[in-house]
Structure 1
Protein backbone atom coordinates (compact mmCIF):
# COMPACT_ATOMS: atom_id res chain seq x y z
CA UNK A 1 0.00 0.00 0.00
CA UNK A 2 2.78 2.45 0.94
CA UNK A 3 4.57 1.68 -2.35
CA UNK A 4 1.43 2.57 -4.30
CA UNK A 5 0.97 5.84 -2.37
CA UNK A 6 4.64 6.76 -2.90
CA UNK A 7 4.37 6.00 -6.64
CA UNK A 8 1.25 8.18 -7.01
CA UNK A 9 2.94 11.03 -5.11
CA UNK A 10 5.95 10.70 -7.42
CA UNK A 11 3.74 11.00 -10.51
CA UNK A 12 2.03 14.09 -9.06
CA UNK A 13 5.43 15.66 -8.35
CA UNK A 14 6.56 14.86 -11.90
CA UNK A 15 3.47 16.44 -13.41
CA UNK A 16 3.94 19.51 -11.22
CA UNK A 17 7.28 20.24 -12.91
CA UNK A 18 5.59 20.82 -16.29
CA UNK A 19 5.98 24.46 -17.37
CA UNK A 20 2.51 25.94 -17.83
CA UNK A 21 1.58 29.01 -19.88
CA UNK A 22 -0.59 31.02 -17.52
CA UNK A 23 -3.41 33.36 -18.48
CA UNK A 24 -5.36 35.60 -16.11
CA UNK A 25 -8.70 37.41 -15.95
CA UNK A 26 -9.40 41.09 -15.29
CA UNK A 27 -11.68 41.07 -12.23
CA UNK A 28 -13.25 43.70 -9.93
CA UNK A 29 -11.31 44.17 -6.70
CA UNK A 30 -14.53 44.39 -4.62
CA UNK A 31 -18.02 42.95 -5.15
CA UNK A 32 -20.98 43.08 -2.75
CA UNK A 33 -24.43 41.54 -3.16
CA UNK A 34 -27.36 39.91 -1.39
CA UNK A 35 -29.96 37.28 -2.29
CA UNK A 36 -31.83 34.14 -1.24
CA UNK A 37 -30.06 30.80 -0.81
CA UNK A 38 -31.44 27.25 -0.70
CA UNK A 39 -29.39 24.64 1.16
CA UNK A 40 -30.03 20.91 1.69
CA UNK A 41 -27.72 18.76 3.83
CA UNK A 42 -27.84 15.59 6.00
CA UNK A 43 -27.47 15.70 9.79
CA UNK A 44 -24.13 13.96 9.24
CA UNK A 45 -22.69 11.85 6.39
CA UNK A 46 -24.53 8.53 6.54
CA UNK A 47 -27.73 9.92 8.08
CA UNK A 48 -31.05 9.75 6.24
CA UNK A 49 -32.26 12.86 8.07
CA UNK A 50 -32.07 15.71 5.50
CA UNK A 51 -32.36 19.41 6.39
CA UNK A 52 -33.66 22.04 3.97
CA UNK A 53 -33.10 25.73 4.63
CA UNK A 54 -33.81 29.02 2.86
CA UNK A 55 -31.46 31.75 4.07
CA UNK A 56 -30.32 35.23 3.03
CA UNK A 57 -26.87 35.02 1.46
CA UNK A 58 -24.38 37.92 1.47
CA UNK A 59 -22.13 37.93 -1.59
CA UNK A 60 -18.77 39.37 -0.53
CA UNK A 61 -15.68 39.18 -2.73
CA UNK A 62 -12.34 40.90 -2.27
CA UNK A 63 -9.33 40.24 -4.47
CA UNK A 64 -5.72 41.33 -4.08
CA UNK A 65 -2.36 39.71 -4.90
CA UNK A 66 -1.86 38.69 -1.24
CA UNK A 67 -5.39 38.20 0.15
CA UNK A 68 -8.70 36.94 -1.26
CA UNK A 69 -12.23 36.49 0.09
CA UNK A 70 -14.73 34.53 -2.00
CA UNK A 71 -17.66 32.12 -1.60
CA UNK A 72 -15.38 29.12 -1.06
CA UNK A 73 -12.62 30.41 1.18
CA UNK A 74 -10.65 33.18 2.82
CA UNK A 75 -7.26 32.84 1.20
CA UNK A 76 -3.91 34.26 2.27
CA UNK A 77 -1.09 32.11 0.95
CA UNK A 78 1.57 31.32 3.55
CA UNK A 79 4.11 30.36 0.90
CA UNK A 80 4.24 30.17 -2.90
CA UNK A 81 6.85 28.81 -5.29
CA UNK A 82 6.12 28.52 -8.99
CA UNK A 83 2.94 26.38 -9.16
CA UNK A 84 3.03 25.24 -5.51
CA UNK A 85 1.12 27.09 -2.79
CA UNK A 86 0.89 26.54 0.97
CA UNK A 87 -2.27 27.97 2.51
CA UNK A 88 -4.53 27.74 5.55
CA UNK A 89 -7.55 25.41 5.27
CA UNK A 90 -10.85 25.73 7.17
CA UNK A 91 -13.95 23.53 7.35
CA UNK A 92 -16.98 23.20 9.61
CA UNK A 93 -20.08 21.20 10.57
CA UNK A 94 -23.35 22.30 12.15
CA UNK A 95 -24.56 20.89 15.52
CA UNK A 96 -26.94 17.91 15.53
CA UNK A 97 -29.57 17.44 18.24
CA UNK A 98 -29.83 13.71 18.92
CA UNK A 99 -33.46 14.01 20.02
CA UNK A 100 -34.30 15.10 16.45
CA UNK A 101 -32.39 12.23 14.81
CA UNK A 102 -33.92 8.74 14.98
CA UNK A 103 -30.62 6.86 14.71
CA UNK A 104 -29.03 8.92 17.52
CA UNK A 105 -32.01 9.09 19.89
CA UNK A 106 -30.79 8.90 23.47
CA UNK A 107 -27.16 9.66 22.54
CA UNK A 108 -25.12 12.78 23.22
CA UNK A 109 -25.61 15.64 20.76
CA UNK A 110 -23.03 16.33 18.06
CA UNK A 111 -21.54 19.76 18.69
CA UNK A 112 -20.67 22.25 16.00
CA UNK A 113 -17.14 21.64 14.80
CA UNK A 114 -14.42 23.49 12.94
CA UNK A 115 -11.38 22.09 11.17
CA UNK A 116 -8.23 24.12 10.71
CA UNK A 117 -4.83 23.29 9.28
CA UNK A 118 -2.47 23.65 6.32
CA UNK A 119 -3.30 22.82 2.72
CA UNK A 120 -0.84 22.36 -0.10
CA UNK A 121 -2.04 23.20 -3.62
CA UNK A 122 -0.10 22.08 -6.67
CA UNK A 123 -0.93 23.22 -10.19
CA UNK A 124 -0.72 20.16 -12.40
CA UNK A 125 -1.95 21.64 -15.68
CA UNK A 126 -3.19 24.93 -17.11
CA UNK A 127 -4.59 25.65 -20.56
CA UNK A 128 -5.59 29.30 -20.95
CA UNK A 129 -8.07 29.86 -18.06
CA UNK A 130 -8.61 26.18 -17.28
CA UNK A 131 -6.69 24.38 -14.54
CA UNK A 132 -6.16 21.02 -12.86
CA UNK A 133 -4.92 21.18 -9.27
CA UNK A 134 -4.00 18.79 -6.50
CA UNK A 135 -5.19 20.09 -3.12
CA UNK A 136 -4.19 18.24 0.05
CA UNK A 137 -5.45 19.68 3.37
CA UNK A 138 -4.79 18.32 6.87
CA UNK A 139 -7.18 19.69 9.50
CA UNK A 140 -7.33 19.54 13.29
CA UNK A 141 -10.96 19.16 14.43
CA UNK A 142 -12.31 21.22 17.34
CA UNK A 143 -15.91 20.83 18.51
CA UNK A 144 -17.86 23.13 20.81
CA UNK A 145 -21.24 23.46 22.49
CA UNK A 146 -20.38 27.18 22.95
CA UNK A 147 -19.61 26.54 26.62
CA UNK A 148 -16.47 24.45 26.18
CA UNK A 149 -14.18 23.24 23.39
CA UNK A 150 -12.96 19.67 22.86
CA UNK A 151 -10.50 18.23 20.35
CA UNK A 152 -11.76 15.43 18.06
CA UNK A 153 -8.77 14.24 16.05
CA UNK A 154 -7.56 14.95 12.53
CA UNK A 155 -8.82 14.59 8.96
CA UNK A 156 -7.18 14.80 5.55
CA UNK A 157 -8.76 14.79 2.10
CA UNK A 158 -6.36 14.84 -0.86
CA UNK A 159 -8.23 15.66 -4.02
CA UNK A 160 -8.08 16.64 -7.68
CA UNK A 161 -9.90 19.79 -8.86
CA UNK A 162 -10.70 20.82 -12.42
CA UNK A 163 -11.55 24.50 -12.99
CA UNK A 164 -13.24 25.53 -16.24
CA UNK A 165 -13.49 29.31 -16.81
CA UNK A 166 -14.93 31.32 -19.67
CA UNK A 167 -15.34 35.07 -20.22
CA UNK A 168 -18.27 35.96 -22.49
CA UNK A 169 -18.55 39.76 -22.13
CA UNK A 170 -17.21 42.41 -19.75
CA UNK A 171 -19.90 41.58 -17.18
CA UNK A 172 -20.57 37.93 -17.94
CA UNK A 173 -18.24 35.11 -16.93
CA UNK A 174 -18.64 31.54 -15.76
CA UNK A 175 -16.61 29.10 -13.68
CA UNK A 176 -17.37 25.38 -13.29
CA UNK A 177 -15.48 23.27 -10.75
CA UNK A 178 -15.30 19.47 -10.63
CA UNK A 179 -13.65 17.69 -7.71
CA UNK A 180 -12.89 14.23 -6.36
CA UNK A 181 -11.48 13.69 -2.86
CA UNK A 182 -10.43 10.65 -0.85
CA UNK A 183 -11.13 11.24 2.84
CA UNK A 184 -9.22 9.84 5.83
CA UNK A 185 -9.67 10.45 9.56
CA UNK A 186 -8.20 9.40 12.88
CA UNK A 187 -10.01 6.94 15.17
CA UNK A 188 -11.00 9.78 17.51
CA UNK A 189 -12.73 11.72 14.73
CA UNK A 190 -14.54 8.62 13.41
CA UNK A 191 -15.58 7.60 16.90
CA UNK A 192 -17.05 11.05 17.60
CA UNK A 193 -19.42 10.78 14.65
CA UNK A 194 -20.00 7.02 14.34
CA UNK A 195 -19.10 5.43 17.67
CA UNK A 196 -21.71 4.11 20.13
CA UNK A 197 -20.78 3.92 23.82
CA UNK A 198 -21.92 0.83 25.79
CA UNK A 199 -24.16 3.16 27.82
CA UNK A 200 -25.86 4.34 24.58
CA UNK A 201 -26.42 0.87 23.14
CA UNK A 202 -29.90 -0.66 22.84
CA UNK A 203 -31.61 -3.57 21.07
CA UNK A 204 -31.24 -1.97 17.61
CA UNK A 205 -28.04 -0.01 18.22
CA UNK A 206 -25.14 -2.14 19.52
CA UNK A 207 -22.01 -0.63 21.02
CA UNK A 208 -19.49 0.24 18.33
CA UNK A 209 -16.05 1.86 18.14
CA UNK A 210 -14.46 2.45 14.72
CA UNK A 211 -10.77 2.64 13.90
CA UNK A 212 -8.98 5.35 11.99
CA UNK A 213 -8.51 5.18 8.25
CA UNK A 214 -10.47 5.55 5.01
CA UNK A 215 -13.64 7.58 5.55
CA UNK A 216 -15.15 7.84 2.09
CA UNK A 217 -14.99 9.47 -1.31
CA UNK A 218 -16.35 12.91 -2.14
CA UNK A 219 -17.53 13.85 -5.64
CA UNK A 220 -18.55 17.43 -6.27
CA UNK A 221 -19.37 20.09 -8.83
CA UNK A 222 -20.11 23.78 -8.53
CA UNK A 223 -21.23 26.69 -10.70
CA UNK A 224 -20.13 30.32 -10.37
CA UNK A 225 -21.91 32.46 -12.98
CA UNK A 226 -21.88 36.26 -13.26
CA UNK A 227 -24.62 37.73 -15.47
CA UNK A 228 -24.57 41.54 -15.45
CA UNK A 229 -25.30 42.66 -11.90
CA UNK A 230 -26.45 39.18 -10.83
CA UNK A 231 -24.57 36.15 -9.57
CA UNK A 232 -25.81 32.55 -9.69
CA UNK A 233 -24.03 30.01 -7.49
CA UNK A 234 -24.87 26.32 -7.20
CA UNK A 235 -23.14 23.21 -5.92
CA UNK A 236 -23.70 19.47 -5.49
CA UNK A 237 -21.62 17.05 -3.39
CA UNK A 238 -22.02 13.30 -3.08
CA UNK A 239 -20.30 11.58 -0.18
CA UNK A 240 -19.82 7.83 -0.77
CA UNK A 241 -19.19 5.93 2.47
CA UNK A 242 -18.81 2.49 0.88
CA UNK A 243 -15.87 0.46 2.24
CA UNK A 244 -15.11 2.98 4.98
CA UNK A 245 -13.65 1.83 8.31
CA UNK A 246 -16.98 2.75 9.98
CA UNK A 247 -19.35 1.34 7.33
CA UNK A 248 -20.72 -1.18 9.87
CA UNK A 249 -21.62 1.48 12.43
CA UNK A 250 -25.29 1.29 13.48
CA UNK A 251 -25.40 5.06 12.86
CA UNK A 252 -24.81 4.57 9.10
CA UNK A 253 -28.28 4.52 7.52
CA UNK A 254 -27.06 5.08 3.96
CA UNK A 255 -23.69 5.04 2.23
CA UNK A 256 -24.73 7.86 -0.14
CA UNK A 257 -25.06 11.35 1.37
CA UNK A 258 -25.99 14.39 -0.72
CA UNK A 259 -25.44 18.07 -0.01
CA UNK A 260 -26.54 20.72 -2.50
CA UNK A 261 -27.54 24.34 -2.72
CA UNK A 262 -28.29 27.29 -4.98
CA UNK A 263 -28.05 31.06 -4.57
CA UNK A 264 -29.03 34.07 -6.69
CA UNK A 265 -27.75 37.49 -5.61
CA UNK A 266 -28.09 41.03 -6.86
CA UNK A 267 -24.59 42.54 -6.76
CA UNK A 268 -25.37 46.17 -5.99
CA UNK A 269 -21.73 47.27 -5.73
CA UNK A 270 -18.82 46.44 -8.00
CA UNK A 271 -15.60 48.42 -7.72
CA UNK A 272 -14.13 50.20 -10.72
CA UNK A 273 -10.68 49.15 -9.53
CA UNK A 274 -9.61 45.82 -11.06
CA UNK A 275 -6.97 43.17 -10.44
CA UNK A 276 -5.40 40.46 -12.54
CA UNK A 277 -6.09 36.91 -11.38
CA UNK A 278 -8.43 33.96 -11.73
CA UNK A 279 -12.05 33.68 -10.52
Structure 2
Protein backbone atom coordinates (compact mmCIF):
# COMPACT_ATOMS: atom_id res chain seq x y z
CA UNK A 1 0.00 0.00 0.00
CA UNK A 2 1.20 3.50 -0.78
CA UNK A 3 -0.04 5.68 2.01
CA UNK A 4 -0.86 9.23 0.97
CA UNK A 5 -1.97 12.16 3.14
CA UNK A 6 -5.17 14.04 2.37
CA UNK A 7 -4.57 16.18 -0.74
CA UNK A 8 -3.18 19.69 -0.25
CA UNK A 9 -6.21 20.95 -2.13
CA UNK A 10 -9.34 18.98 -1.27
CA UNK A 11 -11.36 20.18 -4.27
CA UNK A 12 -8.91 19.28 -7.03
CA UNK A 13 -8.08 15.71 -6.06
CA UNK A 14 -11.54 14.94 -4.68
CA UNK A 15 -13.16 15.94 -7.97
CA UNK A 16 -10.64 13.87 -9.90
CA UNK A 17 -11.23 10.85 -7.67
CA UNK A 18 -14.98 11.08 -8.14
CA UNK A 19 -14.60 11.49 -11.91
CA UNK A 20 -12.36 8.43 -12.21
CA UNK A 21 -14.66 6.35 -10.05
CA UNK A 22 -17.58 6.91 -12.44
CA UNK A 23 -15.74 5.75 -15.56
CA UNK A 24 -16.66 2.32 -17.00
CA UNK A 25 -14.43 -0.48 -15.78
CA UNK A 26 -14.08 -4.19 -16.37
CA UNK A 27 -15.59 -6.45 -13.76
CA UNK A 28 -13.27 -7.62 -11.03
CA UNK A 29 -11.74 -11.07 -11.16
CA UNK A 30 -14.26 -13.45 -9.59
CA UNK A 31 -11.99 -16.47 -9.63
CA UNK A 32 -9.59 -15.25 -6.95
CA UNK A 33 -9.47 -16.67 -3.44
CA UNK A 34 -8.95 -13.18 -2.04
CA UNK A 35 -11.57 -11.80 0.39
CA UNK A 36 -14.63 -10.33 -1.30
CA UNK A 37 -16.05 -6.90 -0.54
CA UNK A 38 -18.57 -4.56 -2.21
CA UNK A 39 -17.52 -3.50 -5.71
CA UNK A 40 -18.03 0.13 -4.70
CA UNK A 41 -18.60 2.15 -1.54
CA UNK A 42 -19.53 5.82 -1.28
CA UNK A 43 -19.52 8.19 1.65
CA UNK A 44 -18.50 11.60 2.89
CA UNK A 45 -16.47 13.11 5.69
CA UNK A 46 -14.23 15.95 6.81
CA UNK A 47 -10.48 16.45 7.24
CA UNK A 48 -8.51 18.92 9.34
CA UNK A 49 -4.97 19.43 8.04
CA UNK A 50 -2.03 21.76 8.56
CA UNK A 51 0.25 22.18 5.55
CA UNK A 52 3.19 24.40 4.60
CA UNK A 53 2.58 26.67 1.61
CA UNK A 54 5.30 24.75 -0.25
CA UNK A 55 8.42 22.79 0.63
CA UNK A 56 10.80 25.28 2.25
CA UNK A 57 8.14 27.82 3.23
CA UNK A 58 8.07 29.08 6.80
CA UNK A 59 4.33 29.72 6.58
CA UNK A 60 1.73 27.00 7.15
CA UNK A 61 -2.06 27.12 6.97
CA UNK A 62 -4.82 25.06 8.50
CA UNK A 63 -7.60 23.71 6.29
CA UNK A 64 -10.95 22.16 7.09
CA UNK A 65 -11.85 20.18 3.97
CA UNK A 66 -14.77 18.05 2.84
CA UNK A 67 -13.57 14.54 2.03
CA UNK A 68 -15.45 12.20 -0.33
CA UNK A 69 -15.08 8.54 0.61
CA UNK A 70 -14.85 6.65 -2.68
CA UNK A 71 -13.85 2.98 -2.98
CA UNK A 72 -14.02 1.15 -6.32
CA UNK A 73 -12.53 -2.33 -6.57
CA UNK A 74 -12.57 -2.86 -10.33
CA UNK A 75 -10.01 -4.86 -12.24
CA UNK A 76 -8.75 -1.92 -14.29
CA UNK A 77 -10.04 1.04 -12.29
CA UNK A 78 -9.51 1.38 -8.56
CA UNK A 79 -10.17 4.02 -5.94
CA UNK A 80 -9.20 3.08 -2.42
CA UNK A 81 -6.81 4.01 0.41
CA UNK A 82 -3.98 4.00 -2.18
CA UNK A 83 -5.72 6.74 -4.16
CA UNK A 84 -7.56 6.81 -7.48
CA UNK A 85 -5.81 5.12 -10.37
CA UNK A 86 -6.35 3.38 -13.67
CA UNK A 87 -4.55 0.01 -13.80
CA UNK A 88 -2.62 -0.36 -17.05
CA UNK A 89 -0.71 -3.59 -16.26
CA UNK A 90 -1.27 -5.91 -13.29
CA UNK A 91 0.95 -8.99 -13.02
CA UNK A 92 2.13 -10.98 -9.99
CA UNK A 93 4.47 -8.67 -8.10
CA UNK A 94 4.15 -5.70 -10.50
CA UNK A 95 1.51 -3.07 -11.21
CA UNK A 96 1.58 -0.15 -13.64
CA UNK A 97 -1.11 2.46 -12.98
CA UNK A 98 -2.09 5.98 -13.95
CA UNK A 99 -2.04 7.96 -10.71
CA UNK A 100 -2.87 11.48 -9.55
CA UNK A 101 -2.02 13.97 -6.82
CA UNK A 102 -2.72 17.65 -6.14
CA UNK A 103 -1.52 20.74 -4.28
CA UNK A 104 -3.20 23.86 -2.94
CA UNK A 105 -2.89 27.43 -4.25
CA UNK A 106 -0.62 29.88 -2.40
CA UNK A 107 -1.68 33.49 -1.87
CA UNK A 108 1.51 35.52 -1.95
CA UNK A 109 0.15 38.31 0.25
CA UNK A 110 -0.13 35.75 3.08
CA UNK A 111 3.50 34.66 2.71
CA UNK A 112 6.21 37.24 3.58
CA UNK A 113 8.82 35.52 1.39
CA UNK A 114 6.57 35.93 -1.68
CA UNK A 115 5.07 39.33 -0.86
CA UNK A 116 4.49 41.24 -4.12
CA UNK A 117 4.94 38.15 -6.32
CA UNK A 118 2.23 36.39 -8.31
CA UNK A 119 0.11 33.82 -6.50
CA UNK A 120 0.91 30.15 -7.01
CA UNK A 121 -2.04 28.26 -8.55
CA UNK A 122 -3.36 24.94 -7.34
CA UNK A 123 -1.84 22.08 -9.30
CA UNK A 124 -2.77 18.59 -10.35
CA UNK A 125 -0.23 15.86 -11.05
CA UNK A 126 -0.91 13.03 -13.50
CA UNK A 127 1.34 10.24 -14.68
CA UNK A 128 2.30 6.57 -14.60
CA UNK A 129 3.36 4.76 -11.44
CA UNK A 130 5.23 1.48 -11.42
CA UNK A 131 4.82 -0.49 -8.17
CA UNK A 132 6.35 -3.76 -7.07
CA UNK A 133 5.99 -5.97 -4.00
CA UNK A 134 9.40 -6.61 -2.41
CA UNK A 135 8.39 -8.76 0.55
CA UNK A 136 5.26 -10.07 2.28
CA UNK A 137 5.13 -11.70 5.70
CA UNK A 138 3.84 -15.26 5.67
CA UNK A 139 0.89 -14.33 7.88
CA UNK A 140 0.08 -11.16 5.89
CA UNK A 141 0.91 -8.88 8.82
CA UNK A 142 3.47 -6.81 6.89
CA UNK A 143 4.20 -5.85 3.29
CA UNK A 144 7.17 -4.02 1.81
CA UNK A 145 6.80 -2.42 -1.61
CA UNK A 146 8.43 0.17 -3.84
CA UNK A 147 6.77 2.78 -6.06
CA UNK A 148 8.20 4.76 -8.96
CA UNK A 149 5.73 7.52 -9.96
CA UNK A 150 6.58 10.02 -12.69
CA UNK A 151 3.98 12.79 -12.97
CA UNK A 152 3.40 15.89 -15.05
CA UNK A 153 2.47 18.94 -12.94
CA UNK A 154 -0.27 21.16 -14.40
CA UNK A 155 -1.42 24.50 -13.02
CA UNK A 156 -5.18 24.82 -12.47
CA UNK A 157 -5.58 28.36 -13.74
CA UNK A 158 -5.79 30.18 -17.04
CA UNK A 159 -2.54 31.03 -18.74
CA UNK A 160 -0.40 28.57 -16.74
CA UNK A 161 1.05 25.83 -18.96
CA UNK A 162 2.36 22.49 -17.82
CA UNK A 163 4.74 23.43 -15.03
CA UNK A 164 7.13 20.51 -15.30
CA UNK A 165 7.61 16.96 -14.04
CA UNK A 166 8.30 15.33 -10.68
CA UNK A 167 9.78 11.92 -9.84
CA UNK A 168 9.14 10.54 -6.34
CA UNK A 169 10.40 6.96 -5.81
CA UNK A 170 9.28 5.62 -2.43
CA UNK A 171 9.77 2.62 -0.20
CA UNK A 172 6.58 1.61 1.63
CA UNK A 173 6.04 -0.57 4.68
CA UNK A 174 2.41 -1.53 5.28
CA UNK A 175 1.32 -3.09 8.59
CA UNK A 176 -2.38 -3.86 8.06
CA UNK A 177 -2.88 -5.30 11.55
CA UNK A 178 -0.51 -3.05 13.44
CA UNK A 179 -2.37 -2.53 16.73
CA UNK A 180 -5.96 -3.11 17.87
CA UNK A 181 -7.25 -3.13 14.32
CA UNK A 182 -5.34 -0.04 13.18
CA UNK A 183 -3.48 -0.06 9.87
CA UNK A 184 -0.06 1.62 9.85
CA UNK A 185 1.72 2.79 6.72
CA UNK A 186 5.29 4.11 6.60
CA UNK A 187 6.73 5.71 3.47
CA UNK A 188 10.02 7.39 2.63
CA UNK A 189 11.97 8.46 -0.42
CA UNK A 190 13.68 11.26 -2.36
CA UNK A 191 12.17 13.67 -4.88
CA UNK A 192 13.48 15.06 -8.15
CA UNK A 193 11.90 17.89 -10.12
CA UNK A 194 12.46 19.45 -13.53
CA UNK A 195 13.96 22.92 -13.97
CA UNK A 196 10.66 24.57 -15.08
CA UNK A 197 8.91 23.17 -12.00
CA UNK A 198 11.56 24.45 -9.61
CA UNK A 199 11.60 27.81 -11.40
CA UNK A 200 7.85 28.08 -10.87
CA UNK A 201 8.09 27.57 -7.10
CA UNK A 202 11.54 28.93 -6.24
CA UNK A 203 12.68 31.25 -9.04
CA UNK A 204 12.78 35.03 -8.52
CA UNK A 205 12.71 37.21 -11.63
CA UNK A 206 14.47 40.57 -11.84
CA UNK A 207 11.07 42.26 -11.65
CA UNK A 208 10.31 40.47 -8.35
CA UNK A 209 13.74 41.05 -6.81
CA UNK A 210 14.07 43.27 -3.74
CA UNK A 211 16.87 44.12 -1.35
CA UNK A 212 15.82 41.18 0.84
CA UNK A 213 14.89 38.89 -2.06
CA UNK A 214 17.59 38.80 -4.78
CA UNK A 215 16.92 37.46 -8.26
CA UNK A 216 17.32 33.70 -8.41
CA UNK A 217 17.41 31.14 -11.22
CA UNK A 218 16.34 27.73 -10.01
CA UNK A 219 17.91 24.53 -11.31
CA UNK A 220 16.29 21.17 -11.83
CA UNK A 221 17.39 18.07 -9.96
CA UNK A 222 17.25 16.73 -6.42
CA UNK A 223 14.37 18.25 -4.45
CA UNK A 224 14.78 16.77 -0.98
CA UNK A 225 13.64 13.78 1.05
CA UNK A 226 10.34 13.03 2.70
CA UNK A 227 9.02 10.52 5.23
CA UNK A 228 5.39 9.86 6.08
CA UNK A 229 3.48 7.84 8.66
CA UNK A 230 -0.26 7.24 8.43
CA UNK A 231 -2.78 5.25 10.45
CA UNK A 232 -6.35 4.30 9.62
CA UNK A 233 -9.14 2.03 10.77
CA UNK A 234 -12.61 1.14 9.56
CA UNK A 235 -15.30 0.88 12.25
CA UNK A 236 -18.34 -0.66 10.57
CA UNK A 237 -19.60 2.34 8.54
CA UNK A 238 -17.06 4.86 9.84
CA UNK A 239 -13.47 5.39 8.64
CA UNK A 240 -10.82 7.31 10.60
CA UNK A 241 -7.33 8.21 9.42
CA UNK A 242 -4.43 10.46 10.38
CA UNK A 243 -0.99 11.26 8.98
CA UNK A 244 2.21 13.17 9.65
CA UNK A 245 4.79 13.98 6.95
CA UNK A 246 8.29 15.43 7.33
CA UNK A 247 10.27 16.93 4.43
CA UNK A 248 13.99 17.75 4.43
CA UNK A 249 15.55 20.01 1.77
CA UNK A 250 19.24 19.55 2.63
CA UNK A 251 21.15 19.38 -0.65
CA UNK A 252 18.14 20.30 -2.80
CA UNK A 253 18.93 22.03 -6.11
CA UNK A 254 16.94 25.10 -4.99
CA UNK A 255 17.94 25.12 -1.31
CA UNK A 256 19.70 28.50 -1.69
CA UNK A 257 16.61 30.22 -3.14
CA UNK A 258 15.52 33.28 -1.12
CA UNK A 259 12.04 31.72 -1.10
CA UNK A 260 13.34 28.81 0.97
CA UNK A 261 13.11 29.99 4.58
CA UNK A 262 13.67 26.64 6.32
CA UNK A 263 15.09 23.26 5.41
CA UNK A 264 12.46 21.16 7.21
CA UNK A 265 8.68 21.16 6.99
CA UNK A 266 6.02 19.17 8.83
CA UNK A 267 2.47 18.50 7.63
CA UNK A 268 -0.20 16.65 9.60
CA UNK A 269 -3.90 15.93 9.51
CA UNK A 270 -6.80 13.80 10.65
CA UNK A 271 -9.93 12.77 8.77
CA UNK A 272 -13.18 10.97 9.47
CA UNK A 273 -15.65 9.67 6.88
CA UNK A 274 -18.94 7.81 6.93
CA UNK A 275 -19.85 5.11 4.41
CA UNK A 276 -23.35 5.91 3.18
CA UNK A 277 -23.91 3.41 0.37
CA UNK A 278 -22.35 0.25 -1.04
CA UNK A 279 -22.83 -2.11 -3.96
CA UNK A 280 -24.55 -5.46 -3.64
CA UNK A 281 -22.12 -6.74 -6.27
CA UNK A 282 -18.86 -7.97 -4.78
CA UNK A 283 -15.25 -7.97 -5.98
CA UNK A 284 -11.99 -9.45 -4.74
CA UNK A 285 -10.09 -7.17 -2.39
CA UNK A 286 -6.81 -7.21 -0.51
CA UNK A 287 -7.40 -3.94 1.34
| Alignment TM-score, normalising by the size of structure 2 | 0.82
Aligned to 2:163: 152
Q: 1:262 aligns with which of 253, 270, 273?
A: 270
**Contact 2:174-2:184 within 8 A present in 1 as well:** yes
Partner secondary structure for residue 199 of structure 1? helix
Spell out, residue by residue over 1:182-237, the C-alpha distance to the aligned partner (whole angstroms, 9 max, x if none): 10011111111011111111111111112111101010011120112211011111
How far apart are 1:173 and its partner, in Å?
A: 4.9
**Contact 1:185-1:214 within 8 A present in 2 as well:** yes
What does residue range 96-245 of structure 1 map to in structure 2 within 5 Å? 96-127=106-137, 128-129=139-140, 130-145=142-157, 147-166=158-177, 173-245=181-253
Partner secondary structure for residue 133 of structure 2? strand
Unpaired runs of at least 5, structure 2 = 1-31
**Contact 2:86-2:99 within 8 A present in 1 as well:** no
**1:217 and 1:25, CA in 2 relative to 1: closer, same or farther beyond 3 A?**
farther
For 2:258 and 2:134, locate their aligned partners in 1 and report how far apart those are by CA, in whole Å: 40
How far apart are 1:274 and its partner, in Å?
A: 3.3
Aligned to 1:16: none
Q: Is the counterpart of residue 32 in structure 1 residue 52 in structure 2?
A: no
**Contact 1:43-1:49 within 8 A present in 2 as well:** yes
Partner secondary structure for residue 117 of structure 1? strand
What does residue range 58-97 of structure 1 map to in structure 2 within 5 Å? 58-97=68-107
For 1:212 and 1:160, locate their aligned partners in 2 and report how far apart those are by CA, in whole Å: 23
Aligned to 1:275: 283
Partner secondary structure for residue 47 of structure 1? coil
Aligned to 1:3: none
How far apart are 1:152 and its partner, in Å?
A: 1.5
Spell out, residue by residue over 1:141-198, the C-alpha distance to the aligned partner (whole angstroms, 9 max, x if none): 21132x2341222110111011111399xxx954221100210011111111011111
Choose 1 or 2 for highest CA Rg. 1
Partner secondary structure for residue 121 of structure 1? strand
**1:226 and 1:107, CA in 2 relative to 1: closer, same or farther beyond 3 A?**
same
| Alignment TM-score, normalising by the size of structure 1 | 0.84
Aligned length: 254
**Contact 1:76-1:87 within 8 A present in 2 as well:** yes
Unpaired runs of at least 5, structure 1 = 1-21
How far apart are 1:246 and its partner, in Å?
A: 0.9
Q: For the aligned residues, what is the CA RMSD?
A: 2.2
How far apart are 1:98 and its partner, in Å?
A: 1.1
Q: 1:44 aligns with which of 26, 44, 54?
A: 54
Aligned to 1:4: none
Partner secondary structure for residue 191 of structure 2? strand
How far apart are 1:24 and its partner, in Å?
A: 4.2
